[in-house]
């Protein structure tokens, strides 16, 4: 108990100002309740409230970005209040370079997905679930307490379940149930692992706490135990990522979900898994993460190639994009478990990139579906003639997803490959070939649906309207900006990533290797240049 | 032991135990601490008053008044037990009625739980009784009596008193199960419950007899004292006694393999009564189980915790897997209630203070989720109480959004979703199991939760996604009028929903309540 009080006091000092991060989680939650309470006839009010809520949350996230100190490695804007004091559980939120951009990405994608949504039925309920989902996802990225993290991690399931089940297509109930049960069985083990961690930590140190920073700093577990616990946590993240062979829920859920649901699923929800691996895999169990690194890298590379090959075989455009996610997430895992500054940074950057480009791809597929009522590639063709603006935007987004230099996807993939090359040489070679496969399936899909002479309904398909262009424009802007000038993003990540890499390598006993490594920590200013040069070689 | 001496000193025994009595002692009745047993007296007094009034009044009384009366009586008992809680916290636990009852935090915890359940059940039964045209006074009186029996079980400090409490509870429940006179299923449920219940009572009694044979007393405190002072050369008699007690009480809490009555009885009983069985009978059964095994046999915990662990494993599996194939919502909830007993056992098998407080917390949280669930079942059951198929729930999300929302919350709580009381409940028993290093059981319990989640999702699917408009029309009886949603049910469901969500968001109060209740077990 005395330690509890002490912790509360010290954090009270840090928490003098406005509890920004708490507000970031509470705002969408409050608006969700308001939206749920609006009478069902007032769709316009619900819509306006929803947009207001998500945009205001984005505003708060920008303020967080402004207040974020670039050179700091530790957690910032921390707020800690006792929640269940008997068990050492507290409301503990904070942000560092690792979670910063994921929070901004989340707050950025939600208003766009609401704007891009074309739901007509039960708009109020739909909006309320979306807002609840936003609160839960932000909670996952911001919480620094194991219990709090688990609460948000699980709560995410409920709104997503209803979004897929109520507003989805075709096999929606099957997809929603599969999604729910898959993810829940993953977290079942995590809960047991989490409790074991907490009690073993208490056995070693005498302090009962769920505080991530405290437990990570103490590193009180025996090597063997830590490895088991890493697996218990890792399984639930692997389902969420999803890592091959636990990915089978993803194509179903992504394909049957409504457009807004797919955007959020791909853009944000998959990152819960990769973020979990960084924050609760590497940070909590550094030695185990290093130990299982080759295993994770193998699964990642299988995911990259398998996802790409299966994506190439798809007849359904949305399913193709869904499988491309499996491949992209493989890159992120590969970079993460290389445990080098470039690898982890590349993984983080790739999380943001994937959110932006795959989110945009899902929006575009949704817009096509809305016009043509089909997602089958064979039914499409020649859309470029009928809808040139859409084709242009689709091209840019697709190229970003392939990893064309000058667009955002390239920077992330390049960093991942550079970072993982020293740790996993042959795996990296395999992964690089995945980039080519990505070009194959995306270009081929583009060719079949946009090129050629349009026939039948395809010839009369309407081009994008202003609302749709307005939804896509910010995404396009980011795709180009982050491709050309990623420095502001990387600068804010670097101190935290460096610290994490040192933490992991220090505990795994491989710190020396890092110092001797030929590739020095890059000055991020050179990144875009170096990236472009390397791109020429490829 | 110091606290025990203190307790003895407080219990103002009429005879000084050190003094060797004369050969013939005149019978001296125990002094009665009226204040300590006031909740029981209020419940019994209310029940008797209700019965007498109903018998004397020439016409059938208005159900609303009777419900109000029951709510007031149970509310009074609840308020009084909260007052007792403060007294106990200040002055410590006390043994009353010649050590037959132990009025401690544990007892008060269950009194609060049981009185709360009586209030809610009475509210839900209000409309049900009008709808089905059943005599209201009798059912409400039985509710109060059964509740009194439960409170007696929770405060019993003597195996005989425990048995008395159990019988008061059970006999009232047998009648309540068969209360719907015109439904054959209800009669069948009552007979099944009675025959199997009587059978299990016999087990319990035999267990009491063997325990008495092994230790020479039926008083829980004296049993504990005897067992700690003496090493039994051969403890077969005691072990057999413990096993039989476990069987008898295991039947009451519907732990597998003593669960066979549960699906039929839950399905056949009037829906509000089923909710009452799942909350009060289960809680009281566990109160007895915990009290006997922790207070009296605490020193033998190495012998009984593995047995409880085995029961927990079996119960979790039965509860999760047999429920999957059901299509009747009442049966689904019956099997799920078996599963929930498994979670409480997971807490109990840890054999630690955290395990017991986890079990208490689980019972508290579960009582309100299950009462709310069966309130919805009562509403959807419609006149005749026989619309319980999954298809009868089609379209509820559209026709009664609030009812469907509340049911969704109750079901998600039962599956252990965070931000509901159900998560906290699962969290506390699992954490106790992990703390006691029963990792395998903890993992099994969590996986059973995933299987169980599938069931709850099936009901949610039926409410929100199921059925086109034609099916909805048939379900509503040929027209699309929504089911009735009377005031009592509104109030009750609102309260149950409030508790479920409040505990989920701000669990601190309930966590401390259950922990204090565990620490304030008078003997242990």
Q: Say if CB B236 and CB B291 are below 8 A apart.
A: no
Query: What is the dihedral angle through the alpha carbons of B376, B499, B250, B432, rounded to the nearest 10 degrees?
Result: 140
Average pLDDT estimate for A326-332? 89
Cα–Cα distance measured from residue A499 to residue A491, given in angstroms and rounded to the nearest whole number: 14
Q: Per-residue confidence at B307, pLDDT binned at 50, 70, 90?
A: very high
Q: Say if CB A128 and CB B426 are below 8 A apart.
A: no
Q: Which of residues 80-139 of A touch B (CB under 8 A)?
A: 83-87
> Hey, are the CB atoms on A191 and B427 less than 8 Å from each other?
yes
> Hey, are the CB atoms on A154 and B465 less than 8 Å from each other?
no
Q: Does A520 score more than 70 pLDDT?
A: no
Q: Per-residue confidence at A514, pLDDT binned at 50, 70, 90?
A: low
Mutate to test the interface with A, among B361, B427, B447, B461 (most CBs of A within 10 A): B427
Q: What helix, strand, coil percent values describe chain A, rounded to 5?
A: 80, 5, 20
Q: Per-residue confidence at B20, pLDDT binned at 50, 70, 90?
A: low
Six-digit token string for B41: 């007296």
pLDDT by residue (tens digit) across B101-136?
Answer: 888 889 999 999 999 999 999 999 988 888 888 888
The ipTM (two decimal places) reads 0.85
The total number of residues written for chain B in this structure: 524
Mutate to test the interface with A, among B350, B361, B418 (most CBs of A within 10 A): B418
Please tell me the distance in Å from A334's CA to the nearest CA on chain B. Answer: 29
> Hey, are the CB atoms on B508 and A83 less than 8 Å from each other?
yes
Mutate to test the interface with B, among A32, A36, A188, A209 (most CBs of B within 10 A): A188
Q: Which of residues 476-495 of A touch B (CB under 8 A)?
A: none
CB-based contact (8 Å) between A149 and chain B? no
Q: How many CB pairs under 8 A join A and B?
A: 79
Average pLDDT estimate for A221-240? 89
pLDDT score for A487: 87
Write the residue in B454, B465, B507 that is nearest to A173 by C-beta.
B465
> Hey, are the CB atoms on B434 and A84 less than 8 Å from each other?
no
Q: Which of A131-135, A514-518, A527-531, B129-133 has the highest mean pLDDT?
A: A131-135
Query: What does pLDDT average to over chain A?
Result: 83
pLDDT score for B65: 86
Q: Does A77 score more than 50 pLDDT?
A: yes
Contacts of A152 in chain B (CB under 8 A): 418
Q: Per-residue confidence at B16, pLDDT binned at 50, 70, 90?
A: low
pLDDT score for B470: 42
Q: Does B290 score more than 80 pLDDT?
A: yes
pLDDT by residue (tens digit) across A274-296?
Answer: 999 998 888 889 888 888 988 99
Give me the DSSP letters along B124-137. HHHHHHHHHT--HH
Cα–Cα distance measured from residue B286 to residue B300, given in angstroms and rounded to the nearest whole number: 18
CB-based contact (8 Å) between A162 and chain B? yes
pLDDT by residue (tens digit) across B233-278?
Answer: 778 889 999 999 999 999 989 888 888 899 999 999 999 999 999 9
Q: Per-residue confidence at B498, pLDDT binned at 50, 70, 90?
A: very high
- The residue of chain A nearest to residue B397, with distances taken between CA atoms, is A166
Contacts of A188 in chain B (CB under 8 A): 443, 446-447, 449-450
Write the residue in B442, B450, B465 that is nearest to A184 by C-beta.
B450
- The residue of chain A nearest to residue B437, with distances taken between CA atoms, is A196
> Hey, are the CB atoms on A177 and B446 less than 8 Å from each other?
no
State yes or no: cis peptide before A242, omega within 30 of 0. yes
Q: Per-residue confidence at B520, pLDDT binned at 50, 70, 90?
A: low
Helices H / strands E in chain A, number of each: 25, 2
pLDDT score for B468: 52
Write the residue in B434, B450, B465 that is nearest to A166 by C-beta.
B465
CB-based contact (8 Å) between A156 and chain B? no
Q: Say if CB B93 and CB B104 are below 8 A apart.
A: yes
Six-digit token string for B343: 């979670």
Write the residue in A40, A155, A195 that is nearest to B434 by C-beta.
A195
Cα–Cα distance measured from residue A369 to residue B173, given in angstroms and rounded to the nearest whole number: 59
Residues of B with CB under 8 A from a CB of A: 401, 412, 417-419, 423, 427, 430-431, 434-435, 439, 442-443, 446-447, 449-450, 453-454, 457, 461, 464-465, 507-508, 511-512, 515
Please tell me the distance in Å from B347's CA to the nearest CA on chain A. Answer: 14
Q: Does A517 score more than 50 pLDDT?
A: no
Average pLDDT estimate for A146-161? 91
Q: Does B472 score more than 50 pLDDT?
A: no
Please state the three-class secondary structure of A399-416 as a single string: HHHHCCCCCHHHHHHHHH
Handedness of CA A403, A409, A415, A417 (dihedral sign): negative
pLDDT by residue (tens digit) across B65-113?
Answer: 889 999 999 999 999 999 988 888 888 778 888 788 888 889 999 999 9
Please tell me the distance in Å from A239's CA to the nearest CA on chain B. Answer: 14
Write the residue in A84, A172, A192 that is nearest to B442 by C-beta.
A192
Give me the DSSP letters along B177-209. HT--TT-HHHHHHHHHHHHHHHHHHHHHHHHHH
pLDDT score for A17: 67
pLDDT by residue (tens digit) across B159-196?
Answer: 999 999 999 999 999 999 999 888 888 999 999 999 99
Average pLDDT estimate for B31-35? 81
Average pLDDT estimate for A342-361? 90
% of chain A with per-residue pLDDT over 90: 13
Task: Choose among A88, A64, A68, A92: nearest CA to A78.
Answer: A92
pLDDT by residue (tens digit) across B445-458?
Answer: 999 998 888 889 88
CB-based contact (8 Å) between A450 and chain B? no
> Hey, are the CB atoms on A158 and B449 less than 8 Å from each other?
no
Give me the DSSP letters along B439-470. HHHHHHHHHHHHHHHHHHHHHHHHHHT---HH
pLDDT score for B467: 58
> Hey, are the CB atoms on B446 and A191 less than 8 Å from each other?
yes
Please tell me the distance in Å from A528's CA to the nearest CA on chain B. Answer: 44
CB-based contact (8 Å) between A29 and chain B? no
CB-based contact (8 Å) between A30 and chain B? no
CB-based contact (8 Å) between A172 and chain B? yes
Contacts of A198 in chain B (CB under 8 A): 431
Contacts of A162 in chain B (CB under 8 A): 464
> Hey, are the CB atoms on A188 and B449 less than 8 Å from each other?
yes
Cα–Cα distance measured from residue B167 to residue B201, given in angstroms and rounded to the nearest whole number: 8
Contacts of B435 in chain A (CB under 8 A): 195, 199
- The residue of chain A nearest to residue B515, with distances taken between CA atoms, is A86
pLDDT score for B522: 54
Mutate to test the interface with A, among B404, B429, B434 (most CBs of A within 10 A): B434
- The residue of chain B nearest to residue A187, with distances taken between CA atoms, is B446
Write the residue in A161, A184, A192 that is nearest to B443 by C-beta.
A192
Task: Choose among A346, A326, A327: nearest CA to A336.
Answer: A346
Q: Residue A184: CA atoms inside 13 Å, Cβ hemisphere, count?
A: 28
CB-based contact (8 Å) between A378 and chain B? no
> Hey, are the CB atoms on B461 and A173 less than 8 Å from each other?
yes
Write the residue in B418, B443, B508 that is nearest to A151 by C-beta.
B418
């Amino acid at each position: 108990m005395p330690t509890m009080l002490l912790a509360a006091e010290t954090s009270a000092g840090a928490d003098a100002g406005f509890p920004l991060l708490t507000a970031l989680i509470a705002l969408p939650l409050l608006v969700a309740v308001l939206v749920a309470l609006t009478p069902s006839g007032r769709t316009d009010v619900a819509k306006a409230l929803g947009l207001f809520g998500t945009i205001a949350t984005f505003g708060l996230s920008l303020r967080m970005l402004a207040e974020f100190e670039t050179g700091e490695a530790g957690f910032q804007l921390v707020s800690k209040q006792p929640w269940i004091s008997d068990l050492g559980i507290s409301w503990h939120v904070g942000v560092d370079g690792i979670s910063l951009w994921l929070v901004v990405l989340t707050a950025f994608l939600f208003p766009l997905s609401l704007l891009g949504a074309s739901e007509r039925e039960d708009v109020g309920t739909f909006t309320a679930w979306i807002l609840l989902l936003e609160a839960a996802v932000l909670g996952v990225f911001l919480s620094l307490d194991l219990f709090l993290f688990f609460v948000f991690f699980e709560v995410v399931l409920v709104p997503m379940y209803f979004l897929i089940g109520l507003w989805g297509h075709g096999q929606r109930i099957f997809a929603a149930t599969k999604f729910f049960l898959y993810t829940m069985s993953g977290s079942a083990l995590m809960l047991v692992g989490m409790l074991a961690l907490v009690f073993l930590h208490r056995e070693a140190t005498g302090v009962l706490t769920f505080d991530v920073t405290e437990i990570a700093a103490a590193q009180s577990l025996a090597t063997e135990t830590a490895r088991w616990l890493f697996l218990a946590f890792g399984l639930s993240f692997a389902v969420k990522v999803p890592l091959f062979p636990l990915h089978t829920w993803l194509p179903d859920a992504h394909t049957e979900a409504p457009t807004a649901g797919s955007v959020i699923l791909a853009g944000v929800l998959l990152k819960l898994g990769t973020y979990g691996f960084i924050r609760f895999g590497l940070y909590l169990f550094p030695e185990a993460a290093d130990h299982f690194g080759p295993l994770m890298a193998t699964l990642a590379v299988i995911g990259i190639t398998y996802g790409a090959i299966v994506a190439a075989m798809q007849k359904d455009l949305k399913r193709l994009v869904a499988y491309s996610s499996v491949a992209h997430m493989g890159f992120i895992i590969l970079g993460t478990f290389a445990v080098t500054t470039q690898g982890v940074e590349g993984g983080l950057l790739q999380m943001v990139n994937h959110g932006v480009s795959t989110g945009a791809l899902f929006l575009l597929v949704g817009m096509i579906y809305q016009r043509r009522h089909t997602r089958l590639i064979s039914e499409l063709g020649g859309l470029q003639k009928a809808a040139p603006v859409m084709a242009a935007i689709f091209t840019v987004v697709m190229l970003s997803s392939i990893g064309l230099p000058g667009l955002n996807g390239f920077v992330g993939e390049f960093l991942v490959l550079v970072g993982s090359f020293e740790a996993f040489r042959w795996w990296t070679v395999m992964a690089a070939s995945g980039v080519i496969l990505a070009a194959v399936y995306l270009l081929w899909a583009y060719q079949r649906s946009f090129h050629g002479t349009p026939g039948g309904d395809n010839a009369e398909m309407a081009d994008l309207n202003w609302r749709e262009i307005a939804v896509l424009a910010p995404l396009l802007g980011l795709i180009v900006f982050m491709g050309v000038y990623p420095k502001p993003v990387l600068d804010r990540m670097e101190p935290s990533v460096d610290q994490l890499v040192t933490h992991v390598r220090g505990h795994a006993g491989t710190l020396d290797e890092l110092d001797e490594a030929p590739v020095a920590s890059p000055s991020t200013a050179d990144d875009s240049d170096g990236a472009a040069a390397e791109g020429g070689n490829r | 032991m110091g606290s025990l001496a203190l307790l003895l000193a407080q219990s103002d025994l009429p005879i000084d135990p050190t003094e060797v009595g004369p050969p013939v002692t005149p019978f001296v009745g125990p002094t009665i601490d009226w204040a300590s047993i006031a909740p029981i007296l209020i419940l019994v007094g209310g029940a008797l008053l209700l019965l007498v009034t109903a018998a004397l009044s020439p016409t059938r009384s208005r159900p609303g008044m009777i419900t109000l009366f029951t709510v007031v009586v149970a509310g009074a008992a609840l308020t009084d037990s909260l007052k007792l809680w403060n007294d106990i916290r200040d002055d410590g636990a006390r043994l009353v009625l010649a050590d037959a009852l132990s009025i401690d935090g544990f007892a008060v915890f269950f009194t609060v739980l049981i009185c709360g359940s009586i209030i809610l059940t009475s509210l839900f039964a209000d409309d049900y009784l009008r709808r089905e045209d059943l005599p209201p006074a009798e059912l409400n009186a039985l509710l109060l009596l059964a509740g009194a029996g439960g409170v007696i079980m929770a405060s019993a400090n003597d195996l005989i008193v425990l048995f008395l409490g159990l019988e008061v509870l059970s006999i009232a429940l047998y009648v309540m199960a068969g209360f719907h006179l015109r439904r054959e299923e209800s009669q069948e449920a009552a007979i099944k419950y009675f025959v199997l219940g009587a059978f299990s009572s016999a087990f319990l009694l035999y267990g009491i007899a063997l325990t008495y044979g092994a230790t020479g007393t039926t008083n829980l405190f004296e049993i504990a004292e005897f067992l700690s002072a003496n090493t039994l050369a051969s403890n077969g008699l005691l072990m057999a006694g413990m096993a039989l007690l476990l069987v008898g009480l295991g039947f009451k809490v519907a732990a597998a393999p003593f669960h066979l009555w549960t699906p039929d009885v839950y399905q056949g009983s009037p829906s509000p009564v089923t909710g009452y069985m799942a909350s009060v009978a289960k809680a009281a059964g566990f109160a007895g189980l915990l009290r006997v095994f922790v207070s009296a046999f605490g020193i033998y915990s190495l012998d009984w915790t593995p047995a409880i662990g085995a029961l927990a494993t079996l119960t979790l599996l039965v509860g999760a897997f047999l429920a999957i194939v059901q299509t009747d919502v009442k049966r689904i909830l019956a099997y799920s209630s078996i599963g929930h007993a498994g979670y409480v056992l997971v807490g109990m098998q840890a054999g630690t203070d955290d395990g017991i407080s986890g079990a208490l917390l689980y019972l508290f949280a579960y009582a309100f989720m299950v009462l709310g669930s069966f309130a919805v079942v009562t509403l959807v059951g419609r006149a005749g109480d026989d619309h319980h198929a999954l298809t009868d729930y089609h379209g509820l999300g559209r026709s009664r959004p609030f009812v469907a929302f509340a049911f969704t919350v109750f079901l998600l709580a039962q599956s252990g979703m965070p931000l509901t009381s159900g998560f906290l409940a699962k969290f506390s028993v699992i954490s106790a199991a992990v703390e006691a290093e029963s990792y395998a059981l903890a993992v099994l319990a969590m996986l059973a939760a995933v299987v169980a989640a599938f069931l709850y999702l099936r009901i949610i699917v039926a409410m929100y996604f199921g059925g086109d408009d034609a099916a909805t029309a048939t379900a509503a009886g040929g027209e699309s009028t929504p089911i009735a949603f009377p005031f009592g049910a509104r109030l009750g469901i609102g309260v149950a929903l409030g508790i479920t969500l409040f505990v989920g968001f701000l669990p601190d109060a309930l966590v401390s309540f259950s922990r204090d209740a565990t620490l304030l077990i008078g003997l242990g």
